[in-house]
Amino acid sequence: MTRKERYQKTIEYFKQNMPVAETELNHTNPYELIVATILSAQCTDKRVNIITPAFFDQFPTPEALAVAQQEAVFEVIKSCSYPNNKAKNLIGMAKGVVERFNGEIPTDLKELQTLPGVGRKTANVVASVAFNTAAIAVDTHVFRVAKRIGLSHNAKTPLETEKQLMQFIPKELWAVAHHWLILHGRYTCLARKPKCPICGLKEVCKEYNKKKGK
């Protein structure tokens, strides 16, 4: 099977079996999304969704978060991973939004990445989900699934994976493809024990067929 055929079959599978794929982070606006996405680094969406209601009660806007004490933010988010660092970044992000972007979350990918705590992955999530920008965010799930299926080839970094996915996936599908791969990695193609027997992609999966000697 050629790489192009593998991509075609993978896209066809997801179109049929996961026509609607969206972020599982609860949010109602771009500010809430960027906060939730920063919190989600090396933390489950489920945990983030437990934390954010109280967070947004206390810090409902970038302006409120920008003047918050780091200890106060830490107290609200301490049940997630790396709370000290995230508290610092969240306040820094809010200050940047207030001081440089008039309190509005920037829509531009490069501008988003100038904010503390906002790397390329977070910027891509916010741009694609909040502003319908064509972007593919590569987190640990996307990186793993793309490698296993054979969508990425010798990619050693998330950026290399992102570039390869963008090369073969039609631009109008970039945003949804990100969610396809994340959700597939979260519920089927698990890191330690992938559920290969129930996976609808096993026939095109490079790693599965390699194990089966095909």
Is residue 15 annotated as part of the catalytic site, yes or no? no
Residue 92 burial by Cβ neighbours in a 10 Å radius (0-12, 13-18, 19+): middle
Going 176 to 179 to 185 to 189, the CA torsion angle's sign is: negative
Q: Which of 46, 139, 193, 206 is catalytic?
A: 139
What is the CB neighbour count within 10 angstroms for residue 172? 9
Q: Which of 86, 95, 121, 202 is catalytic?
A: 121
What is the CB neighbour count within 10 angstroms for residue 54? 12
Q: Hey, what are 36's tokens?
A: 């939730």
Is residue 45 annotated as part of the catalytic site, yes or no? no
Residues whose CB falls within 8 Å of the CB of residue 179, separated by 6 or more in sequence, listed in order:
21, 22, 23
Catalytic residues: 121, 139
